[in-house]
Structure 1
Amino acid sequence: MSRIIMFLGTTRDGRNGERVAKHLIKLLEEKNHSVNLFDPLKMPFELLRQPLHFMPDQSAAPQWLRDANAEIAAADGFVVVTPEYNCSLPPALVNMLDHFPPASFRHRPVGIACYSLGPFGGMRAAAFARPHLSELGLVSIPAQFTVPTVTQSYSADGQPQNERIETNAARLVTELTWYVDALKAARTAGVPN
């Protein structure tokens, strides 16, 4: 069983990312992945003042932050579920990711699921996510799951409302699974310094 961490990217009232996340978690679990959701509303992320890796004494960091970092370091892959805010990434997502050292993410794949209320599905957020995730040491997989008109594409309980959504979500999960297996084998053989 592979371990996947899913980062939910927003804290706004009425957020729709949970719709997308529920569906993707179901698909990932069907592929024998264990999924842990990092939700900035349920974890005590404050405005980032000092990332864990810049703290002179990391043992003085809050226990929840050290535990979350250990989970990230032990994960086999990641999924980022993000809306588009002002043609970019939401601050809650960037704040959450930047708490952790790039070394904890390194050499693991990440899938991007983006969404919006409008017709473009958060594509601009995904375009900003790729270099940010790469800077953390992640390998952004080619498949991208774009969800336009999210409230019409998903029911409130995370059920896809059309075949295109089902097909594209499955494609993201299938490709992420391939990359998880391939990079896990590669890490076992050794990673570059």
Structure 2
Amino acid sequence: MQPLHIAVIIGSTRHGRAGDGIGRWAAELAGRRDDVDVDVVDLVDFEFPGSYPDQPTAEMRRFVARVARADGFVVVTPEYNRSFPASLKQAIDYAYDEWHAKPAGFVSYGYRSEGVYAVEQLRTVFTELHVMTMRNGVGINLLDDEPLDSEPRRRAATTMLDQLTWWAAALRDARHAHPYVS
């Protein structure tokens, strides 16, 4: 079986963000799997326009191509004001068909809530894009002293990745057998 192309999307672009370290941790865990080829898609590496242009820019097309290539996604998101960041919403909206019939899992972080409200908002957006979201995810409370790579977090990430890779393989096979109709 060909490895699954899993894009780990780091959704925060804030200076001093925790997301880059958390995203790289998630990518490292996914990369340890024999069935996964990881693509870290850090939104800070893209120069997106300040407003939606009439025609897609080269950076928008580059992002969309990475979404199209992926069989599934691990979305790493902070929680800002009980939702996810505008940078992530902007990027998500640049693609449409490229998201269809693919799965997404979540690694979220925040203060006390572990980013759970951001994930709930993302589930609504991804449902509209015909993305299958994983029930299990990883939540990180930035106020607790638990190390990022603790055993409970690794177990949560493994469960999410097991679900994600099952869906990614099933949906990849389905997309090849029958083009998705939206």
Structure 1: segments with no counterpart, 5+ residues: none
Matches within 5 A, 1:140-155: 140-149=133-142, 152-154=145-147
Give the Å deviation of 1:44. Answer: 0.7
Q: Partner residue of 2:43? A: 40
Q: Partner residue of 2:102? A: 108
Q: Deviations over 1:95-149 (max 9, x none)?
A: 111122x111100001111111x22201111110101112122111221211122
Q: Partner residue of 2:168? A: 180
Q: Partner residue of 1:169? A: 157
Task: In structure 2, give the amino acid aligned to 1:5.
Answer: A
Are residue 125 (structure 1) and residue 118 (structure 2) matched? yes
TM-score, scaled to structure 1: 0.84
C-alpha distance in 2, partners of 1:141/1:191? 22
Q: Deviations over 1:45-65 (max 9, x none)?
A: 122414xxxx5xx6xx33333
Task: In structure 1, give the amino acid aligned to 2:67.
Answer: I
Q: Deviations over 1:13-36 (max 9, x none)?
A: 221112221221112111132222
Give the Å deviation of 1:93. Answer: 0.8
The count of corresponding residues between Structure 1 and Structure 2 is 178
CA contact (8 A) 2:8 2:26 kept: no
C-alpha distance in 2, partners of 1:37/1:178? 20
C-alpha distance in 1, partners of 2:116/2:46? 27
What SS does the corresponding residue of 1:142 show, helix, strand or coil? coil
Structure 2: segments with no counterpart, 5+ residues: none
C-alpha distance in 1, partners of 2:71/2:27? 15
What SS does the corresponding residue of 2:47 show, helix, strand or coil? coil
Pick closer, same or farther for the CA change 1:149–1:66 going to 2, 3 Å: closer
Counterpart among 63, 80, 83 of residue 85 in structure 1? 80
What SS does the corresponding residue of 1:115 show, helix, strand or coil? strand
Give the Å deviation of 1:5. Answer: 1.4
TM-score, scaled to structure 2: 0.88
C-alpha distance in 2, partners of 1:192/1:99? 19
What SS does the corresponding residue of 2:160 show, helix, strand or coil? helix
What's the C-alpha RMSD, in Å, of the aligned pairs? Answer: 1.8
Counterpart among 52, 56, 59 of residue 49 in structure 1? 52
Give the Å deviation of 1:66. Answer: 2.1
Percent identity, aligned pairs only?
28
